[in-house]
Amino acid sequence: MTTLSPENSLSARQSASFILVKRKPPIDKTEWDSFFDENGHLAKSRDFICVNILERGLHPFVRTEAWKFLTGYFSWQSSQDERLTVDSMRRKNYKALCQMYEKIQPLLENLHRNFIETRNNIARDIQKLYDKDPLGNVLIDKKRLEKILLLSYVCNTQAEYQQGFHEMVMLFQLMVEHDHETFWLFQFFLQKTEHSCVINIGVSKNLDMLSTLITFLDPMFGTHGRGAGTQLSSLIMGGAVQSLFPWFCFCFQRAFKSFDDVWRLWEVLLTGKPCRNFQVLVAYSMLQMVREQVLQESMGGDDILLACNKLIDLDADELISAACVVYAELIQKDVPQTLKDFFL
């Protein structure tokens, strides 16, 4: 067992402190621009910016540019001129990939047995998307969205298309103007979150650590159901709580009340603040929302599933705050090495 340093404990308390006061306004364009010097180099530290994103979030007018840094689309060390060059390169590379795809598409249709099935799945998923706002204005271009998803599937050998990717790419398309930006932001996002959302082994690792976290922080909840021959930790790792998979597969996007809430959580996950693998602390906080109901009603696996699936229309700030409190609690304890290695 390892006790974390006082410095880390202080950092955790600071990261959780914004739940105790009214959150400051999000970082707006004027403030964001002040983070850079006249050549476009960062005048503030990356850590300073990421902590502010955790505690305050980003104004919509800033989000597009900030996400290019958070995902790795742009280097934090780059100048304005260098970023213009990088963007031009990414545009050209995207165009080259599109041309390559057009050339090999007939081969894929004839030789790749999964290609047609995946293409049909993508088309079917996209048709289900509601593409209009409450006033009837069209939000997205479904044809462009389909093209980006197909290209991503062909180019990305590690992250095969999964149901829900169409919703993720839609959010990127809503954020940026050009297709090459949508494509590359999605690719970088997948890379940044590969251990938490895309690769199945990463999802399993998250569920495993969630089980360990529950057992460590809330043993009463963790041992619920022992009389029936099951433990919550076993349920999580078994088939009964497979509905937790979407929490990690799609970065909780279906649990929130608005697109802004989804972006708010995602940008926090991209900062790496207040710790690595913060998504597991978010999932733990969500399970705590159903804890009393589970214990009072002595719920079994299927009922726990149903309760978890009802966690919708959540407020991102409240959930981030709750997860920060869990982190503050975690690092003030004698932490098992497995948890220390995963979160720090």
Dihedral pair phi/psi, residue 138, rounded to 5°: -70, 130
Strands (E), the chain: 2-3, 334-335
Chain segment 76-95, per-residue pLDDT in tens: 999 999 999 999 999 999 99
For the chain, domains (ranges, CATH) are 79-193 (1.10.8), 195-343 (1.10.472.80)
For residues 265 and 322, what is the distance between their CA atoms, to the nearest angstrom?
12
Cα end-to-end span (Å), the chain: 14
- 91 Cα distance to chain centroid: 25
Q: Which H helix or E strand runs over 52? A: helix 46-56
In terms of C-beta distances under 8 Å and separation of at least 24 residues, what long-range contacts does 196-205 make, across chains too? 196/248, 196/251, 196/269, 196/277, 196/279, 196/280, 197/248, 197/249, 197/250, 197/251, 197/279, 198/158, 198/159, 198/162, 198/249, 199/158, 199/159, 202/248, 203/245, 203/248, 203/249
Residue 79's contacts (CB-CB under 8 Å, 6 or more residues apart) are 39, 40, 41
Tokens of 166: 């169409």
CA distances to 196, 290, 307 from 283, rounded to whole Å, are 11, 12, 14
Residues 222, 294 contacting (CB under 8 angstroms) = no
d(Cα 39, Cα 84) in Å, to the nearest integer? 12
Residue 244 pLDDT grade (very low, low, confident, very high; cuts 50, 70, 90): low
For residues 228-252, give the mean pLDDT. Answer: 57
Q: What is the rounded average pLDDT of the residues 130-146?
A: 83
Specify the DSSP class assigned to residue 335: E
Q: Answer for the pair 306, 238: CB distance below 8 angstroms, yes or no.
A: no
pLDDT at residue 73, as a whole number: 97
**Confidence grade of residue 281 (pLDDT, cut at 50, 70, 90):** very high
Task: Name the average pLDDT for the chain.
Answer: 83
Chain-centroid distance, C-alpha 326: 18
Strand partners, 36: 42
Total residue length of the chain: 344
The owner of tokens 């790496």 is 272
Cis omega (within 30 of 0) on the bond before 274? yes
pLDDT at 102 over 80: yes
Q: What is the mean pLDDT of residues 234-241?
A: 45
In this predicted model, which residue has the larger pLDDT, 60 or 302? 60
pLDDT of residue 25: 93
The per-residue pLDDT for range 183-236, each reduced to its tens digit, is 999 999 988 876 555 555 577 788 888 888 988 998 887 776 444 445 555 555
Prediction pTM value: 0.86
